[in-house]
A and B are shown apart, each in its own frame.
Chain A
């Protein structure tokens, strides 16, 4: 069963904070295609953990400053 991704990201705003970095430039730094960066920004594709780390490094941020995941029903911590 497929379900939409719940991973959100701030890549678009962080690109502008990082000196108006274009999608093509970020893609080149990370080693993916520009279409992949577009898909990630639009929430249409969840990158692998490795690519997510590479994006965070390329933007000079920590992973959790770039990507977020809602913590609710999937939490397993006991009371």
Chain B
């Protein structure tokens, strides 16, 4: 398995785990009450920070156990990466547009921050899934 594919797996698992932890903590804090009044900023920052650190640590560990040959990348890796980014960009734009609409409607900061975070997550998840699918199933023509 190419290092890029392993990196896609790591990113996918770490982002989903971080978001699941974030959701669990925020929902437990809300305890059925009003979500916008629930403290969320610290958890959001901690889970994003922890996800970045975890992804770096895991990729270093994976890299140690990957052969030198496995670290090499070429034009196919770049094409797969570009195709995956192209595929997932829609979620990023949708998240940003939703945040813009929420801001125009003067909704609570909670919803603006969370719709952006959800957009980032869905974009990252789709990008990871697309990369893995392209590495495993092959790269179809446009």
Contact = CB atoms under 8 A, between A and B. Distances in A.
Contacts of A51: 75
Contact of B76 (A1, A2, A39, A43): A39
A2 B141 CA distance: 6
B137 interface: yes
Interface residues on A, range: 20 to 34
Contacts, number: 49
Interface stretch (A12-20, A30-38, A60-68): A30-38
Interface residues on B, range: 10 to 19
A9 to B, nearest CB: 13
Contacts of A53: none
Contacts of A48: 75
Interface of A: 1-6, 24, 31-36, 39, 42-48, 51
